[in-house]
Amino acid sequence: MYIWFTVVAGLALLSISLLGTFCPHLGEDCAYILASLKLGLRLFKYKSSKPFYSVLDCFLDAVKRHPTKVFVHFEGREYSYGDMDKRSNKVARALQAEARLKEGDSVALFLANEPSFVWTWLGLAKLGCPAALLNFNIRSKSLLHCFSCCGAKVLIASQVRRFLSNCILLLLTVHDDDDDDDDDDDLLSSTVEGLPKAAVVTHERVWAASFIQAVCGVTSEDIFYINLPLYHSAGFLIGMIGGMERGITIVLRRKFSASQFWDDCRKYNVTVMQYIGETMRYLCNTPRKDGEKNHRVRIAIGNGVRTDIWSEFLNRFGDIKVRELYAATEGNIGFINYTSKIGAVGRVNFVHRFFFPYTLIKFDTEKEEPVRNSEGLCIEAATGETGLLVGRVTRRSPFVGYAGNQQQTEKKRLRDVMKKGDLYFNTGDLLWFDDMKFVYFQDRVGDTFRWKGENVATSEVADILTMANCIFEANVYGVKVEGHEGRIGMAAVTLQEGEDFDSLHTYKQVVNYLPAYARPRFLRIQPCLEMTGTFKMKKVKLVEEGFNPAHIEDPLYFLDPEKKMYVPLTEDIYRAIACRDIKL
């Protein structure tokens, strides 16, 4: 393996030197390739060591180097590396004594963004217990589903008011003894988001995600700002675990606040921030102030920002190196835009493609399936043409799958792509490459869309809608709204025979069982739902038609949170949404 790294590094340098005069991004390409090879070699050494050198080992080494260095700032309190180590030992001992945990037992964490999340995870790591990070917004059926999928013996939460049937609950006092804050969310106070898939994350994948900070130029002297949920891979793997790998100081917030963002950055001398597309938009929508470029933030790491928002963010807040990513927790292929090219999510280079082989294939958006030739093989998309991104499954780039869900795992596997018998991971995403080798994200396909930085499963939303007394069938999809990232939820529905649309009961149904980001804000009542020849619901035309009542004859409804019901979508409401007088 070491020889491979040496050979590839040499070939990379030779090729880059020969092509330098034709490549305006030569320096950046060279730096990225060398950094990637160096980190790859480190990972190989970690895997080869006996026992495996883990993130926990890395954290403990950091504790030895600088035990008094602040690891986490949180709501006016400081927690050093040494503090985290001691508190994690306390958690480990409590779990051993009270829950009788042993090495290999899985534990589910149902915690908000707070320091206890970090030291609890570290305590579990010291016991050798895999941790399942549950979305803090789920409850009821979805929470039980996640709990059963991960095979956890114990569920750890900040506070518990009601017990869940068939679950063993352990309430740990993971806060400080002198912490009298009673503002923590309750275990069952949020709403369900459907039936999420649990991605299996190996030690190797944890390391790979943590290296993103290093690739982006983060050093041990930086101060990293996390306001994304720690149950997400971005907040936890890239942010928190990446911070451990770098040995840096982290500023942790319970949730994102646009009004307090820059004040926090100035207060703590933040140099690196995380974002999703909505984060950037919210910051750009805040009232302008004097001295907005008066801060020390130099790097922004994230994904999903629109080109216009990206440009506005830089013009308003200064020369910040935006490192836009494309990746999936369970996927075997990802990109990073290390050049700051506005709008791109990465670049194509042969070293990256050698270790993580991928391709773009032609995709039929109407049939929602890859286009195949007469031999039954997929067809590669041309430069500039939108295609489905697929990553070849190899030993270096595996697809582990989803815990306790073989059916969903199999749906992500695509066979006979470039040749008979090969196996690829289907990302479900449409991308395109330009002639300068930049990579651009186009859209999602299939059964999910993204809104407010969260993935929404259309089938699960449809299940909730059809539980309403008046609704017979539901076809859920996402539609674009001018000035917003991603797609907002909409559904075409048919009514039960002899029933009128019950706007109040339908509203209660979606509010009781879906989090805000997954609730369909627009409903379209149809006499019947169009199907494909293979009996799949047609979505493309519905997506294109959107929700403009001037162009749609079917009755349209809008979820009005103030009136607590679905109301007829009038042209006045449509214009108010377009002018952003109504917030979505």
What pLDDT was estimated at residue 191?
26
Q: Give the tokens for residue 570.
A: 């009038």
* 8 A C-beta contact, residue 385 and residue 174: no
Residue 183, CB-side half-sphere exposure with 13 Å CA sphere: 5
Identity at 361, one-letter amino acid code? I
Note whether 507 and 566 are within 8 A (CB): yes
At 109 the pLDDT is 93
- Please report the pLDDT score of residue 3 as a whole number: 59
Chain-centroid distance, C-alpha 17 = 37
Omega prior to 561 cis, within 30 of 0:
no
Cα dihedral across residues 260, 266, 321, 222: positive or negative: negative
The pLDDT of residue 2 is: 53
Task: Tell me which DSSP letter residue 117 carries.
Answer: H
| Interatomic CA distance for residues 508 and 492, integer angstroms | 18
> CA neighbours within 13 Å on the CB side: how many for 456?
28
Question: What does the pLDDT read at residue 308?
Answer: 86
Largest CA distance in the chain: 74
Q: What is the side-by-side strand order in the sheet with 471-479? A: 471-479, 488-495, 522-525, 556-560, 565-568
Residue 392 pairs in a beta bridge with 424
Query: What is this structure's pTM?
Result: 0.81
Mean pLDDT of the chain: 87
Dihedral sign computed on CA atoms, order 133, 136, 138, 144: positive
- Would you write out the chain's pLDDT as a tens digit for each of its 584 residues? 555 555 555 555 555 555 554 577 888 988 999 999 999 999 999 989 888 999 999 999 999 999 999 999 999 999 999 999 999 999 999 999 988 999 999 999 999 999 999 999 999 999 999 999 988 877 666 677 777 778 888 889 876 444 443 333 343 333 333 443 333 322 222 222 736 678 888 889 999 999 999 999 999 999 999 999 999 999 999 999 999 999 999 999 999 999 999 999 999 999 999 998 788 988 999 999 999 999 999 999 999 898 989 999 999 999 999 999 999 888 999 999 999 899 999 999 888 999 999 999 999 877 789 999 999 999 999 999 999 999 999 998 999 888 878 888 898 999 999 999 999 999 999 999 999 999 999 888 877 888 888 888 888 899 899 999 999 999 999 999 988 888 999 999 999 999 999 999 999 999 988 888 999 999 999 999 987 665 678 888 899 999 999 999 999 999 999 999 999 999 999 999 998 899 88
CA geometry: angle 46, 50, 54, nearest 5 deg: 45
Q: Interhelix angle for 277-284 vs 258-268, to 10°? A: 90
pLDDT of residue 6: 59
